[in-house]
Amino acid sequence: MKSAVTIFLSLTLAIAPIAAQAQVAVAPNPNHDELLFSSNPKAAANKRLVYDFWREVFEGGHLNLAEKYLTEGYIQHNPNVPTGRAGFVDFFKQFSQPKSIEVKVKAPLVSIVAEGDMVVLAFVSQAKDPKDTSKTYTTTWFDMFRIENGKIAEHWDPTIKR
C-alpha cells in the first residue's frame, strides 16, 4: 500500500510539466495608493515607511537618507549585503548614484502586505526558463522588513550567496 506522501509526489511529478506550461504571468498593480492603504494606522505607516525607503534610498540612490529609514543595528539576511546601516550604505555605494526620486516605486510592484511589525513587498520577477533559455517566465520576488520604533530594523529576501 502506497503512503499518502508517495501518492502526492507521484501526482505532483505527473502534472508538473502541464502546470509549468499553464503558468499565468505575474502582473504588477499600478495603483500604489491602493497598495499603501490600510484601515490600521500602524500598518499604513509601516507600509509607507518601507515604500518611501524603497523609492528614496534603494531606487533613488540617496544613501544619505539611510539614517532616516534604517536602525543603526539593521540586520541583513541577504548573504551578499553586510549587516548594519553602515554596512548597507558601504555596499550600495558601489552600485548606486543619487538620481531623481520618483513619486512611485519604479519596480513592478504586485502587493504590499503589513502585519504587526512586518511589511512584505512583492514584485514581478522575470527569469529564464531552465529547460529553454530562449524563453522567459515571470515569478514573484519578495522583500520582507521588520519595523522597530519607526525604522527598518531587519530585512529578508530570497537571494542566494554569489
pLDDT of residue 22: 52
Return the CATH number of the domain spanning residue range 26-156.
Answer: 3.10.450.50
* Integer Cα distance of 93 and 61 in angstroms: 8
Domain-wise residue ranges, the chain: 26-156
Per residue in 18-64, pLDDT (tens digit) is: 444 558 999 999 999 999 999 999 999 999 999 999 999 999 999 99
Q: Is the pLDDT score of 2 beyond 60?
A: no
pLDDT in tens, 80-128: 999 999 999 999 999 999 999 999 999 999 999 999 999 999 999 999 9
pLDDT of residue 21: 54
- Residue 15 clears pLDDT 70, i.e. is over it: no
Per-residue pLDDT tens over the stretch 132-149: 999 999 999 999 999 999
Residue pair 120/113 in contact (Cβ under 8 Å)? The answer is: yes
Hey, is 140 helix, strand or coil?
Answer: strand
pLDDT band at 162 (very low <50, low <70, confident <90, very high): confident
pLDDT band with cut points at 50, 70 and 90 for residue 156: very high
Neighbours of 69 (CB within 10 A): 21
Residue whose C-alpha cell reads 512586518 in the numeric block: 118
3-state secondary structure at position 153:
strand
Whether residue 7 is predicted with pLDDT greater than 70 in this model: the reply is no
